[in-house]
Structure 1
């Protein structure tokens, strides 16, 4: 009887296989396959999303060794991209009618995460391919452009986005690559830099300046997007850069020397480039953040097993309290980043505005990855800073992502500006009044029941009362109108009169419009007697007040 006849296969759990030798000394062998049990699916994922995650993971496991070799050899792995393209994974977010899987931003993030979980390098091009004009084509492209380019992207054609220039980085609106309309085509002249995929991409989404009119620039109507094919006369790569963490990825500068681009290659209308760019960035930043999730997963995959096996001071280093704290932080950052990324993708798929969320997860994801790579490096010591483990590589790419896809400062500026607009209702300070019993500010119950008539005395009284509630703050016109029945024009006339009398302080815009106002010392005295403003806690007796 052979050994095979003595084997018993036992199904332990989903994704696990137990093998027991019945007649031997070895009692059991357990083979753990990292299948669904170890894959963190979200409740809103469809079965197609779950299967996609499994399929991409399996593919990347198959090529992981070869991909690692290309990083050591500094090779661009054309063969792996070709093989990856055959899978159709790059069409995850492309609608089925254009040759894709129709799995939305969530599908794109799944691919981004699983690819980067094995390849911090190769994933940049794959994710860049999905980012390289996908949403620009879907939301702004003509039907002809969609039918031409989307199936090619779904089949793995490399593409990239060309935004950054010599003088236009974070200030993307300041780009100078010029596109002039001449009949049925545009002529492009200028240079781009820091372009991921330079020289290897087959199509490039290029943003250009089509107007120098100050009014157009002010309203961001001076830019236009085009798709430029590799091999177009006058279009070439100028330089390939050495970028931190880009061992097997090409990044470089592009030159446009009288490049003729037909009108039908324009994406959107002339002057819509800024709108196209920003919309594409929201998708791009969400996918980049999924990459950050992957890198944090890799940090755990190495840091925990390493510290379980590394013995110092007579015990595994995972028993050291400081290392346990660092690993706990890595886990916390991973969970926080991943939930944020996939919730953002879910909102995109629901058709919601993710301007705030996309920039938020991009910034937080990069910072979390970098912080966790620092912790992982510290846990692994010398092995954390050599290239025989991927910790150093993740440390590098994490820092690079402080810049790539939009600097953290640019992301936070988007969050700030969009937040003030989109979350205006959430940023309204509750109306407060003075408690008759305690004499301290407390939230008011609802709006003012009966407003005062417009007069100098009533306005001054409102300003005086606000001094008791918000001693160091000015009031807006809107604040005052909560108590005074008046329109802006009439109210401003009264406030101007009070200012002329030296009773109020004002803040005006550059154009002279009155924006904020506060009663000064003279105005406060006129509004109420000084005893009206006096207050102290109960433990402070009158003899201790001046």
Structure 2
């Protein structure tokens, strides 16, 4: 197997890493302190990302995007992962679901999002429907040439800065009541639509400045032309997005773990106790070795899944393995880094405690670790009839 990057991929890595180092990392402390990205700063970063050709890198070139394949895009996600979400998400990667836009939807949603003129968020999770998305109760009822939507979504990332939401709702409550599997349909809903209210959710310890919100729909009426894809086929669109999203979480976890390992290694090489640098003690050196080994394993699983996606052979199990291992490796690596830094690892003066806090959510969103293990175990047992 050839693990070498192409010249183009090396250039991509160098370009994104330089952008992260010069345009994102210097603002991390400010965002952490404010729990906000100041609007002027956000616009400046977006503009620089557009000028650098990094914006919408996951979208087809013929639509104005970067046209990167899955492997190259995973490298981009890995490098952006070195920075916090509030800043790295300004280098937008629009939801792949928008590729399903047709006709007027392309001009109203897809193309402006690729150009950086509009911003999307995705609404799937509900207070009573997290991992079990089929049990969602937000409902869109046909009414003449419209749909009328009622229900609540929560934990919706960056809805407070989005222009429209990619909404998943059930369109046949009768079927769901008898089978327990609600047919789901996707919709495009502008955030200023009457009947839709967006409120900031509770404060979160992870990724300050990157907010989760609650969306309340009360007799929210949208034209039937805002339905995305076929009625009742939203779960298929959701499945396509989840695979790419889980791969993105894995890549982001790898990038952040690399930054944490670099910081911990530097500290161990410089900090002296008992007449020598602490890295010479096995109690510090061996954890560093474990961190480096786990990081390499996480990266290999992630890049393997990306390569398979390019070949059209990536399975749900491949994405689940990458997301599971990389996110849990990040948790272990950040925890060991805190221990290596000692008391300073918990001080806000250094970024280690922030990485430690931020790492916690990676094992929850886009499918918990338990869901990933369920996917993997079912893929092993199903062929045996179990």
Fold match by TM threshold 0.5: yes
Q: Report if aligned partners of 2:135, 2:182 keep a CA contact under 8 Å in 1.
A: no
Alpha-carbon distance between aligned partners in 1 of 2:178 and 2:14, rounded to the nearest angstrom = 47
What is the aligned-residue RMSD (CA, Å)?
2.3
TM-score, structure 2 as length reference: 0.91
Q: Report if aligned partners of 1:196, 1:251 keep a CA contact under 8 Å in 2.
A: yes
Pairing partner for 1:72 from 6, 15, 33: 33
Q: Report if aligned partners of 1:178, 1:188 keep a CA contact under 8 Å in 2.
A: yes
Alignment of 1:385 with 2:373, yes or no, is no
- Write the mapping of 1:15-414 to structure 2, written as runs, cut at 5 A: 42-43=3-4, 45-63=5-23, 64-86=25-47, 87=50, 88-123=53-88, 125-126=89-90, 129-130=92-93, 133-134=95-96, 136-138=97-99, 140-142=100-102, 144-156=104-116, 157-214=118-175, 218=179, 220=181, 222-414=183-375
Give CA deviations for 1:170-208 in whole Å, capped at 9, x if unaligned.
111111111011122211111111111021112211110
**Structure 1 residue 119 displacement after superposition:** 2.8
Alpha-carbon distance between aligned partners in 1 of 2:325 and 2:301, rounded to the nearest angstrom = 9
Q: Report if aligned partners of 2:78, 2:255 keep a CA contact under 8 Å in 1.
A: yes
| Greater helix fraction, Structure 1 or Structure 2 | 2
Where structure 2 has 5 or more consecutive residues not aligned to the other structure, the ranges are: none
Bigger radius of gyration among the two = 1
- Write the mapping of 1:493-504 to structure 2, written as runs, cut at 5 A: none
**Structure 1 residue 267 displacement after superposition:** 1.6
Aligned to 2:189, the other structure's residue is in SS state: strand
Alpha-carbon distance between aligned partners in 2 of 1:216 and 1:144, rounded to the nearest angstrom = 34
Alpha-carbon distance between aligned partners in 1 of 2:133 and 2:269, rounded to the nearest angstrom = 47
Q: Report if aligned partners of 1:68, 1:119 keep a CA contact under 8 Å in 2.
A: no
Q: Which runs of 4+ in 1 moved over 4 A?
A: none
1:68–1:116 CA distance, 2 compared to 1 (3 A): farther
Alpha-carbon distance between aligned partners in 2 of 1:219 and 1:95, rounded to the nearest angstrom = 37
Alpha-carbon distance between aligned partners in 2 of 1:165 and 1:199, rounded to the nearest angstrom = 17
- Bigger relative contact order, structure 1 or 2 (CA pairs below 8 A, ≥6 apart): 2
The alignment of Structure 1 onto Structure 2 pairs a total of residues equal to 379
Q: Report if aligned partners of 1:53, 1:114 keep a CA contact under 8 Å in 2.
A: yes
Alpha-carbon distance between aligned partners in 2 of 1:246 and 1:158, rounded to the nearest angstrom = 19
TM-score, structure 1 as length reference: 0.65
Alpha-carbon distance between aligned partners in 2 of 1:418 and 1:152, rounded to the nearest angstrom = 39
